[in-house]
Amino acid sequence: MCYGWEPDDIIQIISDLRESEESKSLEIIERALEKTAIQLGEKYRSEDYPHISLQNVVQRLFTEENAHGSRVIDTKDEIVMRTEKCRIFEVFKELNGTDIGYRYKCRQDYFMVKGYDRSIRLEIEKCLMRGDNCCLHHFIQTNSDAHDR
């Protein structure tokens, strides 16, 4: 293990908590992961400031390391990113934990975007972890230009 929890650790912990019906513990883990995702988005925002943009959030958070073969369609107020191969998905699929991967990893995407810029809304239309043939993320610039802190 290089740092943090590895996917196999997360799958085992979540599975054990589900079996013991520890729903409160699962909620705590989910909130903690949401919080760290928001903090990561805020960190990247501070590094990019004052060049905060719809294009930067997609570039910074989603196209660098784990998504391969992603195609990005960019318009003025929306970016659509289609990913057919994802390293994170492959790991969770190999461990038979895509349901856990979606709930505890993919959902973090919403919170990273929120931490980066609350005026950007993320909609996940398709997701490999949910059994779709690709991930289809829509990043939409809303009319709000203020970033709530």
1 part of a folded domain:
no
Question: Range of 104's domain?
Answer: 7-141
2 part of a folded domain:
no
148 part of a folded domain:
no
116 part of a folded domain:
yes
Mean pLDDT (the chain, rounded): 84
18 part of a folded domain:
yes
98 part of a folded domain:
yes
The total domain count for the chain is 1
Angle at 49 between CA 45 and CA 54, to 5 degrees: 65
Q: What is the pTM of this model?
A: 0.79
Write the CATH number for 86.
Answer: 3.30.1380
Residues 120 and 141: beta-carbon distance below 8 Å: yes
> pLDDT above 70 covers what percent of the chain?
88
Write out the DSSP string of 7-64.
Answer: HHHHHHHHHHHHHTT-HHHHHHHHHHHHHHHHHHHHHHHHHHTT---HHHHHHHHHSS
79 part of a folded domain:
yes
Q: Using CA atoms, how far apart are residues 35 and 30, in angstroms rounded to an integer? A: 9
**Token digits of residue 32:** 């903690």
pLDDT tens string 4-35: 567 888 888 888 888 887 788 888 888 888 99
pLDDT tens string 96-141: 999 999 988 888 999 999 999 999 999 999 999 999 999 999 999 9
Residues 124 and 137: beta-carbon distance below 8 Å: yes
Q: Using CA atoms, how far apart are residues 64 and 67, in angstroms rounded to an integer? A: 7
28 part of a folded domain:
yes
Q: How high is the pLDDT of residue 64?
A: 55
CA distances from 29 to 13, 33, 35, 93, 122 (A): 10, 6, 10, 21, 22
Q: Comparing 118 with 70, which gets the higher pLDDT?
A: 118
